[in-house]
């Protein structure tokens, strides 16, 4: 129960919308790490790869292009503050935050335990974002929702839908 009631008032024009409107979930399409040290090593390798890559017309990324990363062990990292626009989801870059899960979820079926860890980490990131940007859980999408790609993998996609629809 809440005492906060939405009140629809007549407006004189519109407020400007905030920059960030959604959160895009990715997978690395790489291996599932077994230790925190291994996870950090994987993230550092992606960071180097993203800096090296030509992002179009010779454009270079300052660092890894995701904002958050998580592994299947319960570790979560903030890689870039969401106030920065990065290049993780093409057309959605302007308005979204990029979250990547370490693993290939087109191949790896998360165990029940791993599924719980993923959902817990999604909760934690969602809380972090909500306090700052007031973006609801329903605004999470997967990379494949905005681009022709398998990302974030069928199995993670299923978990995302399940988590979004939770009461």
Site for Zn ion, rule CB under 5 A: 26, 143, 151
Cβ closer to Zn ion: 124 or 150? Answer: 150
Q: How far is the CB of 148 from Zn ion (least distance, A)?
A: 11
Question: What are the structure tokens assigned to 129, written together?
Answer: 């974002």
Q: 89 and 98 in contact (C-beta within 8 Å)?
A: yes
Cβ closer to Zn ion: 99 or 117? Answer: 99
Q: How far is the CB of 4 from Zn ion (least distance, A)?
A: 36
Q: Give the integer Cα–Cα distance in Å for 2 and 19.
A: 28
Q: How far is the CB of 167 from Zn ion (least distance, A)?
A: 28
Cα 67 to Cα 12, 112, 141: the distances in Å are 36, 26, 15
Cβ closer to Zn ion: 35 or 94? Answer: 94
Cβ closer to Zn ion: 20 or 100? Answer: 100
Residue 110, phi then psi, degrees to nearest 5: -60, 140
Q: How far is the CB of 39 from Zn ion (least distance, A)?
A: 18
Instruction: Say if strands 22-27 and 140-142 run parallel, antiparallel, or are unpaired.
Output: parallel
Q: Give the integer Cα–Cα distance in Å for 160 and 100.
A: 12
């Amino acid at each position: 129960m809440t005492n906060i009631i939405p009140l629809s008032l007549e407006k004189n024009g519109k407020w400007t919308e905030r920059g960030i409107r959604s959160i895009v979930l990715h997978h690395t399409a790489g291996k599932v790490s077994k230790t925190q040290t291994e996870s950090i090593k994987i993230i550092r390798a992606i960071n180097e790869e993203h800096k090296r890559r030509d992002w179009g017309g010779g454009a270079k990324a300052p660092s890894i292009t995701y904002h958050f990363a998580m592994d299947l062990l319960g570790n979560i990292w903030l890689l870039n503050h969401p106030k920065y626009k990065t290049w993780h989801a093409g057309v959605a870059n302007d308005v979204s935050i990029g979250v990547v899960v370490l693993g290939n979820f087109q191949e790896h079926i998360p165990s029940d335990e791993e599924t719980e860890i993923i959902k817990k980490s999604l909760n934690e990131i969602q809380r972090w974002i909500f306090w700052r940007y007031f973006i609801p859980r329903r605004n999470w999408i997967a990379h494949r929702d905005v681009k022709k790609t398998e990302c974030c993998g069928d199995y993670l996609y299923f978990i995302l839908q399940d988590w979004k629809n939770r009461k």
